Amino acid sequence: MKINCDVIRDLLPLYVDGVSSEESKKLVEEHIEDCRDCRDVLSKLKNTEYDTDISEEKESVLEYSFRKTKRKTFIAGGIISSILMIPVIACLIINLATGHALDWFFIVLASLMLTASLIVVPLMVPQKKLLYTSLCSMASLFMLFAVCCLYTHGRWFFIASTSVLMGFTAVILPILIGRYAKDGFIKKNKGLTVYALETILLLSLFFYIGAYIGGREFIVKAVMISSVPALAMWALFAAVRYMHTNLVSKTGAIIAISGFSILVINPWVNNIISKDKYLLFSADNIINTVISIVLAAAGLILLFIGILYAVIVRIKKVKHGIQND
């Protein structure tokens, strides 16, 4: 009986696949009628076969529908881009017929390229849709700015594109870094990267505006005015992101920074832009001054309590460690 079971189990896979000889088939069926163990093995085998069949079928159905959807969106992208070509060709002909050189045609072309980047690119690009869509739309938006500037003899190209870049850096860039950046410094310090880029872009925006209005005085004033709020934002960011202490000291640091910022920013900005000196304790500003001092003091107290607590916990741990030794 024992030997027989082993032989039967060797035969079972063939039996389940339906490729065993008539003789083996008979042998198996006769045997499992009496042997409960082999019957169990057979039913398990049948179940796993069934499971693999189902999962294989599911995968092939999914792949088929994925390919089908992909083909459909690709065709839709193709149709939309051909429709977009109609106004391009029409404008090319009209511009050539009415003017001596192509001028406003390029504005139409750039606008339609922007439309295509937002609609056609996500439909037709197979992978990294967000990356390619945002890069293409940024490029066509810059092209639109450039041709509009050329057409109107404007000098605002860098101001407009830097502003757009600032919005892009704040909203899209963190998502792009999260999705596509390789593990490393930039991915680990996403906030720092975005903040640093925004600071550089802000400074260059001041420079471009200064160049546009022809005032060196503007650049100096703008940089001076924004330096203190920017420093306050950097300090807040550093506290939120890089202070690895307890929640109490972190909250204290944030409140203290906010208090100091309110206290400093108002007189700082006011003394740069207006001739009237801002006096911290004059009748106009006394409430503002008191609130910010109270905030800063409360923050410092919280920060102190938090640090004290952390130190006490550390000392207790060290003592505990010595006792255990």
Using CB under 5 A, list all residues that contact Zn ion.
5, 35, 38
Instruction: Give me the least distance between CB of 21 and Zn ion, in Å please.
Output: 19
Residue 39 vs 317, nearer CB to Zn ion: 39
Minimum distance from residue 69 beta carbon to Zn ion (Å):
50
Distances from the Cα of 107 to the Cαs of 91, 131, 152, in angstroms?
10, 25, 11
Alpha-carbon distance 114 to 152, whole Å? 20
Q: Which residues contact 69 (CB under 8 A, 6 or more apart)?
A: none
Return the SS3 of 243: coil
Residue with smaller CB distance to Zn ion, 33 or 51: 33
- Minimum gap (Å) between residue 22 Cβ and Zn ion: 20
- Smallest gap, in angstroms, from Cβ of residue 42 to Zn ion? 10
CA of 237: how far to CAs of 29, 103, 123, 262, in Å? 75, 47, 38, 16
Nearer of residues 27 and 230 to Zn ion, judged by Cβ = 27
Minimal CB distance residue for Zn ion: 35
Is 9:38 a contact under the CB 8 Å cutoff? yes
Nearer Cβ to Zn ion (38/148): 38
Nearest to Zn ion of 34, 56 (CB atom)? 34
- What region does 161 belong to: left with phi over 0, alpha with psi -120 to 50, or beta? alpha
Nearer to Zn ion, 35 or 236 (CB): 35
Rounded to a whole number of angstroms, the minimum distance from the CB of residue 129 to Zn ion is 57
CA 293/CA 119 separation, integer angstroms: 53
| DSSP string for 90-139 | HHHHHHHHHSSS--HHHHHHHHHHHHHHHHHHHHH--S-HHHHHHHHHHH
User: C-beta of 3: minimal distance to Zn ion in Å?
Assistant: 10
Return d(Cα 108, Cα 175) in angstroms, integer.
31
